[in-house]
Every structure is written in C-alpha cells, then in structure tokens.
A and B are shown apart, each in its own frame.
Chain A
Amino acid sequence: MMLAWRMAAVLSILVIGVPACRSSRAQLLAADQSQVRLRSIQTRVFDTTDKRTTLRTIMATLQDLGFVIDDADDVLGTVSATKLDRYRMRMTVSVRPRGETQMLVRANAQYNLRAVEDPEPYQQFFDALSKAMFLAAHDVD
C-alpha cells in the first residue's frame, strides 16, 4: 500500500512538473512577453546626436548603480555590465541613432537566471540615466 502511494507521489510530480518545463534548449529563442511590449518597456529616446557621450553617460550611470562594466563597443554602441549584490544582474545597453536628431537607447537585463521583463526596474534605470544626461527620456511612439 505504501509503495502504491509512493508511486502515485512520483507520478504526480512528473505529471505536474514535466509539462511545465519545456526542453531547456527551447530557452535559446524563447521570449516570455510580446516583442512589442518588451521593446517599449526597454527603450527610450533622447534628444541628442552624440553617440559617444551617450555611451559614456550610460557607463557612468551603470557604475553609479553598482555595476562593473564587462565590455563596451564604440562602433556598435553597446555596453554590458554586471552587478553582484548577493544576486547577479547582467545588463546590456545599446545606443543607435534615430532620425537626424535623436538617439534610441535600449536596455535589457537578466536577474540571476531570469530575463527582467517588469517595467519598474527599467523605469528606474532610465530615470537615473536621464538625470545623468541632463535630458528627458521619451517613450518610443
């Protein structure tokens, strides 16, 4: 009787647990949210044409927030950085021109093993960046 209960226990874990976790390979191209919503959460526009200064200001802001910069590329306009504070947070911020007068800044972050898709941390990041830029951050239309 006890054995039957144990079998049932194992089966129930398999039945409940297995379908919830797809093959871990599927993570490669997985996105938990719609692409459009994610982009609008992670992107802001600044009224400047100076890519290099924007990049340097992003690096300064990341350092203010306790990140160590991992990598930066002036040509591609990307900065990656890691924050360690009993958790591991990685962030990549990219800058590219938008039209003749603006720069598009996109940030994406992962917290431990999860993508950050909550709007609030991005809002906080862009608030900090916008103070450091002395420019307002506009939402993308």
Chain B
Amino acid sequence: MLSVCVALTIPSLGGCAARIPKGALAMRPQTLEFRQRSTRRFITSDESRILAASAGLLQDLGFTIDGSESDVGLIVASKDRPAVEGGQVAAKIAFAVLFRANIPIDRNQKLRVSVVTRPVGNEVAVRVTFQRIVWNDRGQISLLEQLDDPEMYQEFFDKLSKAVFLEAHKI
C-alpha cells in the first residue's frame, strides 16, 4: 500500500519538470513557406497608411484592437466567438443516449492576430499571424493552436488590398 502511495506521489511531483518540445524556438524547413504565405508587399513608402488600413480591416472583421505601436509597425487584436461545431454536438448527444456519458465539447474561442509592417526599400511588407484558444463547455482549455490554413491568409490579404484601396480613396 505504501509503495502505491509513493508511486503515486513521485510522478505528481516530477510532473512539474516538463521539458519544452525540441525545436520550439528553432527555424523549421517549412518556415520559409509559412513566411511567404503570411506576408504581402505593397508598393508604397507610407507605412502608416498600410497600418491604418490593417486596423480598419481588423475592425471590419469584428476584432477589437488590444494594442498597437506604430513606431515599430504593430497592431494586436482579438475577438471572442462561439466554437460550437455540429459534429461535436451530435457526438455529445450520441454518447449521452448510448452510454449516459457527458463528454465535453468546444464552446468558446478567442481568436488572436498580430499584424506587423516593415519598410523594405520602396515597399511595405505586411505580415500577419493568427492563433486561437478554445474552451470546452466545462470551462477548460481544449485547444491551443496556430492557424496556418493558406486560404485564411489569402483571404485576409485580398481583403487588405481592398482596404488599402479604400483608405487611399478616403472611403
């Protein structure tokens, strides 16, 4: 019995020493591709115009601006939205009916974005990165992830191009 106790205690104390995954802060072979996907260049020397257009676009998309530092070309924004998915709800009902089990499903999410601009010659490079935190219906974090779907970036930059155009024409 005592050995069982000790066996239970040791992992719970040792659990604190979790190591970070190898390569968490290292460049990967896919870094370049990711950089290209998440960056667009605009032919202008007016960095603040691109930043203003980005802020306008983020507001169009329902984000609230959490912070900005225009001297280094940064806007940080987030939005809280539901994360309920039909498939999970169906699974929850099926488990409840078949096994009388209450399985947790995703309920809320916080979507975060940072937009960073940088003058490159007579162009301004804009780089955007997205991530999200998902909570389940028990209030626990169920997912922490970077959003790297190429279509999301494509759509964001298509909209940014329009926003830059609108900004240029003071609309």
Contacts and interface: CB of A to CB of B under 8 A. Distances in A.
Real binding pair = yes
Interface of A: 5, 8-9, 12-13, 16-17, 20, 52, 55-56, 59-60, 63-74, 81-89, 109, 111-112, 114, 116, 118, 121-122, 124-125, 127-128, 131
Contact of A68 (B5, B12, B20, B114): B114
B38 interface: yes
Contact of B116 (A5, A59, A73, A128): A59
Contact of A121 (B8, B24, B34, B132): B24
A36 B114 CA distance: 34
Nearest to B115: A69
A17 B73 CA distance: 49
Contacts of A128: 25-27
B58 to A, nearest CB: 13
10 closest residue pairs by CB, A with B: A84-B144, A69-B114, A124-B26, A74-B71, A125-B25, A111-B20, A121-B25, A124-B25, A9-B5, A72-B69
Interface residues of B, number: 47
A82 B131 contact: yes
Given A73-B69, A74-B71, A74-B72, A64 B27 contact: yes
B76 A69 contact: yes
Contacts of A66: 34, 129, 146
Looking at A69, A70, A124, A125, the one whose CB has the most chain B CB atoms below 10 A away is: A69
A71 B65 CA distance: 11
Contact of A63 (B20, B71, B116): B116
A67 B118 contact: no
